[in-house]
Amino acid sequence: MQNLEKILEHNHIKPTAMRLLVLQFLLNKKVAISLTDVENHFDQSDRTTLYRTLNTFVEKGISHKIDDGTGITKYALCEENCHCEIDTDLHLHFHCTKCNETVCITEYKIPPIHLPKDYIAENVNLVVKGICEKCNNK
Amino acid sequence: MQNLEKILEHNHIKPTAMRLLVLQFLLNKKVAISLTDVENHFDQSDRTTLYRTLNTFVEKGISHKIDDGTGITKYALCEENCHCEIDTDLHLHFHCTKCNETVCITEYKIPPIHLPKDYIAENVNLVVKGICEKCNNK
DNA sequence: CAAATAATGCACTTCCGTTGCATAGGGTTT
DNA sequence: AAACCCTATGCAACGGAAGTGCATTATTTG
């Protein structure tokens, strides 16, 4: 998968071994993952490195941070056309209370939010909790 | 303010001195407050007691928990007609990145959220970040 | 090759939420 | 009033997660 290297280089991230592994992990997982998730997957690696790797990904714009209300920061790769820094493009996140997984729902956009006068919105975070499609069909 | 006692008793909470003070603090503050906020306000009081007091208020339904994405749990008194346990009634929260305050925007309800097939929504959390009316007019 | 720059690993800190347990207070029963 | 019970309170400590400082290793560049 030299593809991975291209992704990193394209976003001005030096493709180190660790970063490639983390990127692959993120690609395989379709759900948002936490630092601890990554840590558990790469047994002999250091948490700080993973922490900084994930942060680098966010800074460079290939993934975004998710606050799903569990108190644990999650990360997910951005889609091709993701402009997660721009508020109009923000998608919603769904947190399943059964399997405890958080997924990005990109098909449906956040409807326009009305705010009282003089409030300026810079950013919208919408998390829906409930039962996900997988758990519902079990 | 024997009013305060009535509020507590009406919600089956024994009106202790501490609880009355915390309730009054919540009433005065129009913004959502954190445990640390309360702790700082009541200098000589114990963190655990305040923690449990706030939780009691939430359990008994006179206030609700807010996750505003800062990673710090906030609390705010429910409005008269607040049914915060029912998802259709959820209001949105606004977090000002300048003054760092979080307020409940009760005038505007969360628009209906569309979800993919087989997803069941139980709960919606919507936090808008930006500049609040106060900071905008400064 | 040497120097500079960046990434990594280790240790440690801080902050917040939470729990266990012992004590104190208020109300009730004898 | 004394004994009792239940609840609230206060203290101590734990645990998880985010974050930082610094030394070390790797990687690029002159």
User: How far lies A127's CA from each of A112, A117, A123, B63, B71, in Å?
Assistant: 15, 25, 13, 21, 14
Residues in chain B, pLDDT under 50: 1, 88
With CA of B50 and C1' of each nucleotide, the nearest comes out as D9
Could you tell me the pLDDT band of residue A106, with boundaries at 50, 70 and 90?
Answer: confident
Q: What is the CATH number of the domain that holds B48?
A: 1.10.10.10
Among the listed residues A110, A115, A114, the one whose alpha carbon sits nearest the alpha carbon of residue A125: A110
Mean pLDDT of A99-115: 89
Does A77 score more than 60 pLDDT? yes
Could you tell me the pLDDT band of residue A91, with boundaries at 50, 70 and 90?
Answer: confident
Q: Hey, are the CB atoms on B130 and A117 less than 8 Å from each other? A: no
Instruction: Give the integer Cα–Cα distance in Å for B71 and A69.
Output: 8
Give B68 to chain A, closest Cα distance, Å.
Answer: 8
- Write down the pLDDT at residue B109: 82
Structural domains counted in chain B: 1
Mean pLDDT of A91-108: 91
Which residues of chain A neighbour B108 with C-beta distances below 8 Å?
Answer: 113-116
Could you tell me the pLDDT band of residue A86, with boundaries at 50, 70 and 90?
Answer: low
Question: Does strand D come within 7 Å of the CB of A10?
Answer: no
Containing structural domain, residue A19: 2-136
The edge-to-edge listing of strands for the beta sheet with A102-109 is A102-109, A91-96, A120-131, B120-131, B91-96, B102-109
Does A84 score more than 70 pLDDT? no
Could you tell me the pLDDT band of residue A5, with boundaries at 50, 70 and 90?
Answer: very high
Does A66 score more than 70 pLDDT? yes
Mean pLDDT of A101-126: 90
CA B13 to chain centre: 18
Q: Hey, are the CB atoms on A118 and B97 less than 8 Å from each other? A: no
Give the range among A84-93, A116-125, B114-123 with minimum mean pLDDT. A84-93
Closest protein residue to C8 using CA and C1' atoms?
A49
- Rounded CA Rg of chain B: 16
Question: Does strand D come within 7 Å of the CB of B29?
Answer: no
Give B109 to chain A, closest Cα distance, Å.
Answer: 9
Could you tell me the pLDDT band of residue A62, with boundaries at 50, 70 and 90?
Answer: very high
- Write down the pLDDT at residue B82: 67
